Chain A
Amino acid sequence: MGKKIDEALVRKVAKLSRLELTEAEIEEFTGQLSAILDYMEKMNELDTADVQPLAHCLPISNCFREDCVKESLGTEKTLANAPQREGEFFKVPKILEESSG
C-alpha cells in the first residue's frame, strides 16, 4: 500500500472485473483511483495490530432453515428475463474451456 495504482494494474483489475474499458476510461480511472487509494492510506495512521476485523455488526450466529422443499419458479419464469434462450436453456456463445473454478 502507498503506491499509486498504475495503468497496468488498472487493466489487470478491469480484466478481473470483466469490464472492457476504453483507453480514455483507463486513463481517467488510473488518476481517480490513485487519488482515492492515496486517501485510503489514512488508515495506516492507526495501529490495528491487536484489533479484530469486524465483518459482521450483529452478534448473530447459527441462522438456519429446515430442509423443506419449496416450489421452484418453473422454467418459463426462470427464463423470462433471459437475454437469449434456446428452448429450456439460457443461450450463450460457445464456452471453450472447462470451468474456471
Chain B
Amino acid sequence: MADLQYKVIVGLEIHVQLCTKSKLFCGCALSFGEAANSRVCPVCLGMPGVLPVMNKQAYEYAVLTALALNCKIAEFTKWDRKSYYYPDLPKNYQISQYDLPLGNNGFIEIPLKSGETKKIRIRRVHLEEDAGKNLHSSGNFSQVDLNRTGTPLMEIVTEPDMNSAAEVRELAVELQRIVRYIGVSEADMQKGHMRFEPNVNLIITRGGTEFKTPIVEVKNLNSFRALEKSIDYEIQRQLDEFLETGRTMEMGNKTTRGWDDVNEATVLQREKEEAHDYRYFPDPDLVPVEMKGQWLEDIRCGLCELPLKKQTRYVNEYKLSDYDAGVLTAERSTAEFFEQVIAAGGEARRICNLLTQIGLKLANDAGCGIADLGLKAESVSELSKMIGDGKISASAGNTIFEEMVKTGKSPIIIAEELALVQTSDESELEAIVEQILSENQQAVCDVKSGGKKCKKAQSFLLGQVIQKTRGRANPRVVSDILSRKLG
C-alpha cells in the first residue's frame, strides 16, 4: 500500500423544485401531501390530445438562477422530448432540454474551511418536468400517484471540480442558500425540493503511474447527510475495489448505485441490459424561447446581492465575525432586516448582537423569520443607540427587545415603564459612590491594599452602588468613578 496516493473527483447533478404556484405545462397547483391523484389534469396526465403550454414564471426563475450562477444565458433555446417508459411518466417521455440548455458555463463560489473560497464551474442549467411517484404496496403491485408529474424542476450540472465529500456538501448548502435568496425555490429538503446525484471517481497514483477508477453515479440522494456519507463511502469502496481488481475507467463502464441509508452503503443498481437510448428530439408541441435584451435585463433586476458576497461584506465592512455574518446571512429576510436597521442608524456590532442573541431566538420560538416579528427597523435602531449611549445596559436591551415584540411599544417607553433607564449622571453617581464608600470602610481598605481581596472588594463595591440605584447606575461610569477614588 506504500507509495499510493489518490485524488477524489466529484461532479454533482442537482434537481431543484421551483416554487411556482402552478406546474410547468399546466395549471395544476404544486402539491405536497395531498390525496393521491388529486392535483392532476388531462395535460399532466398525458391524455390523448393534450398539449403543454410553458409557465413563464418557471422559465424566469430558471434564468434568474442561471444568472446567479454566473452562467451565459442562451439567446435561443428549445424543448426536447426524452423518451423512456415508466409508470410515473404518463406520456412515457419527459419534456426537458437537451443540447441547448437555457444557461451554461457558469460557476459557484463555495466557502472552504480555510476561510478561502473555491470556484466550482457550472456546466449547465436547464428546465424540465418532474415525474410522479411510484409507491410499493404490499404484494405484487405498485401504486402510482401522478400529483408530482409536471412539477417544474431545474437541473444544475457542475463540472467535476470538487475533491472531497465536504466540498460537495458545501456546494449543496450554498446552492440551497442561493436559490432561497433569489426566491426561486423553498429548497426544503424535507419536501424533497432538492435531489442530488454525485458522479464520483478517483485518480490513483501508484508507483508513479496514474490510474482512474470507473465513474460511479449515486442516484437520488435527498439530504446533505446522505450526500456526504455516500461520497465518503464511495471513495473507500473504489479504493478497495481498485486494490483488489485493478479495474480502471473505460468507455461505457460507468455504473449507477443507490444509497442504502440503513446500512449506510452504496448499492449497485440492477445492470441495465443496454445503455439508455433516450431518442431526444425537439418537442413539436412547444416553440423555442428567444431571450431578448429587455426581458433578460428585467429578470436580471431580480438578482440581489448573493449570500456569500453579503457575508464577506459584513465581515469587511461591519467588522463582524465570520460566524456572526454567517448567522445573519443564512436567510435573506434576516440579512435584509439587519440592513434596514443599519440604515436607520446605530453601531453594526451592537445591532448584530441584538439580532443574533435575542432576535433570532424569539423568531425561532415563534416559528417565523425575524422580519415577521412585527418590529420596526427604526425601533431596533433606536434601541441599539440607547445601549450605545449608555442609557440602558446591554442585558436590559435584550429584555426591552422582547417586550417590543410582545407589546409593540417603543423602546424608550418600555425602558421607562420597566425602570431600566440607566443613569450615567456623573455627579449623581459620584454622590452615591461617596456614600457607599463611607459605609464600607473594610472593602475600601481591601481595594486600596491590592492583594487577593482586591478584585472581590471592587465587585462588591460596584454591586452595592448598582443596588443602591436599583440597577439604574451605568456600571461603566461607576467603575470609572470607583477607580478614580480608590486609585
- State which of A2-10, A27-35, A44-52, A93-101 sits at the interface with chain B: A93-101
Bound-complex Cα distance A66 to B141 (A): 39
Could you tell me if B270 and A70 are in contact, using CB atoms closer than 8 angstroms? no
- State which of B4-12, B81-89, B353-361 sits at the interface with chain A: B81-89
Could you tell me if A63 and B38 are in contact, using CB atoms closer than 8 angstroms? no
Question: Is A39 in the interface zone, CB < 8 Å from B?
Answer: no
Could you tell me if B289 and A95 are in contact, using CB atoms closer than 8 angstroms? no
Complex interface bits, A69-92 against B, C-beta within 8 A gives 1, otherwise 0: 111111100110000001111111
Q: CB-CB < 8 A to A89: which residues of B?
A: 36-37, 135, 137, 143-145
Question: Is B21 in the interface zone, CB < 8 Å from A?
Answer: yes
- State which of B52-60, B232-240, B241-249, B416-424 sits at the interface with chain A: B52-60
Could you tell me if A86 and B143 are in contact, using CB atoms closer than 8 angstroms? yes
Select one of B35, B39, B53, B88 contacting A99, CB under 8 A: B88
Bound-complex Cα distance A89 to B16 (A): 26
Could you tell me if B29 and A69 are in contact, using CB atoms closer than 8 angstroms? yes
Q: CB-CB < 8 A to A71: which residues of B?
A: 27
Question: Is A24 in the interface zone, CB < 8 Å from B?
Answer: no
Q: CB-CB < 8 A to A1: which residues of B?
A: none
Could you tell me if B141 and A67 are in contact, using CB atoms closer than 8 angstroms? no
Question: Is B134 in the interface zone, CB < 8 Å from A?
Answer: yes
Could you tell me if B41 and A64 are in contact, using CB atoms closer than 8 angstroms? no
We find that the number of chain A residues with CB closer than 8 angstroms to chain B is 39
Q: CB-CB < 8 A to B85: which residues of A?
A: 18, 100
Bound-complex Cα distance A18 to B339 (A): 59
Q: CB-CB < 8 A to B59: which residues of A?
A: 64
Whether A63 touches B84, Cβ cut-off 8 Å, given contacts A90-B146, A94-B140, A96-B270, is no
Could you tell me if B290 and A68 are in contact, using CB atoms closer than 8 angstroms? no
- State which of B177-185, B276-284, B442-450 sits at the interface with chain A: B276-284
Q: CB-CB < 8 A to B290: which residues of A?
A: 61-62
Question: Is B219 in the interface zone, CB < 8 Å from A?
Answer: yes
Whether A65 touches B54, Cβ cut-off 8 Å, given contacts A78-B146, A95-B134, A95-B142, is yes
Interface of B is mostly: loop
Question: Is B94 in the interface zone, CB < 8 Å from A?
Answer: yes
Interface of A is mostly: loop
Question: Is B222 in the interface zone, CB < 8 Å from A?
Answer: no
Scan residues 191-236 of chain B and give those whose CB is less than 8 A from a CB of chain A: 219-220
Could you tell me if B57 and A55 are in contact, using CB atoms closer than 8 angstroms? no
CB nearest neighbor in B for A88: B36
CB nearest neighbor in A for B88: A99
Q: CB-CB < 8 A to A97: which residues of B?
A: 269-270
Question: Is B272 in the interface zone, CB < 8 Å from A?
Answer: yes
Could you tell me if B53 and A64 are in contact, using CB atoms closer than 8 angstroms? yes
Bound-complex Cα distance A89 to B37 (A): 7
CB nearest neighbor in A for B93: A101
Could you tell me if B22 and A68 are in contact, using CB atoms closer than 8 angstroms? yes
Question: Is B66 in the interface zone, CB < 8 Å from A?
Answer: no
Bound-complex Cα distance A96 to B87 (A): 12
Q: Which residue, of B20, B78, B86, B277, has the highest number of chain A Cβ atoms within 10 A?
A: B86
Select one of A18, A61, A67 contacting B288, CB under 8 A: A61
Bound-complex Cα distance A97 to B257 (A): 12
Select one of A18, A67, A69, A98 contacting B219, CB under 8 A: A98
Bound-complex Cα distance A100 to B270 (A): 11
Select one of B37, B42, B144, B269 contacting A92, CB under 8 A: B144
Whether A64 touches B55, Cβ cut-off 8 Å, given contacts A56-B288, A101-B89, A101-B131, is yes
Could you tell me if B35 and A94 are in contact, using CB atoms closer than 8 angstroms? no
Could you tell me if A98 and B36 are in contact, using CB atoms closer than 8 angstroms? no
Select one of A60, A88, A93 contacting B140, CB under 8 A: A93
Q: CB-CB < 8 A to B71: which residues of A?
A: none
Select one of B55, B88, B277, B284 contacting A55, CB under 8 A: B284
Question: Is A16 in the interface zone, CB < 8 Å from B?
Answer: yes
Could you tell me if A101 and B288 are in contact, using CB atoms closer than 8 angstroms? no
Could you tell me if B21 and A88 are in contact, using CB atoms closer than 8 angstroms? no
B52 to chain A, nearest CB (A): 10
Could you tell me if A55 and B282 are in contact, using CB atoms closer than 8 angstroms? yes
Q: CB-CB < 8 A to A91: which residues of B?
A: 141-144
CB nearest neighbor in A for B279: A16
Could you tell me if B53 and A90 are in contact, using CB atoms closer than 8 angstroms? no
Whether A79 touches B37, Cβ cut-off 8 Å, given contacts A63-B53, A69-B22, is yes
Whether A72 touches B258, Cβ cut-off 8 Å, given contacts A92-B144, A97-B270, A101-B94, is no
CB nearest neighbor in A for B292: A62
Could you tell me if A94 and B141 are in contact, using CB atoms closer than 8 angstroms? yes
Q: CB-CB < 8 A to A101: which residues of B?
A: 82, 84, 86, 89, 94, 131, 276
Q: CB-CB < 8 A to B26: which residues of A?
A: 70
Question: Is A43 in the interface zone, CB < 8 Å from B?
Answer: no
Select one of B131, B136, B287 contacting A60, CB under 8 A: B287
Could you tell me if A67 and B38 are in contact, using CB atoms closer than 8 angstroms? no
Question: Is B352 in the interface zone, CB < 8 Å from A?
Answer: no
Could you tell me if B284 and A72 are in contact, using CB atoms closer than 8 angstroms? no
Question: Could you name 6 residue pairs across A and B whose Cβ atoms are closer than 8 Å?
Answer: A56-B282, A67-B21, A89-B135, A91-B141, A93-B141, A94-B140
Q: What 20 additional pairs, Cβ within 8 angstroms, besides A62-B287, A68-B21, A95-B86?
A: A63-B287, A65-B53, A66-B56, A66-B57, A70-B41, A72-B29, A75-B35, A87-B36, A89-B135, A89-B137, A90-B143, A90-B144, A90-B146, A91-B144, A93-B141, A93-B142, A96-B270, A100-B84, A101-B84, A101-B131
Task: In the A-B complex, list the 3 residue pairs whose CB atoms are closest, starting with the nearest.
Answer: A70-B27, A89-B143, A67-B57
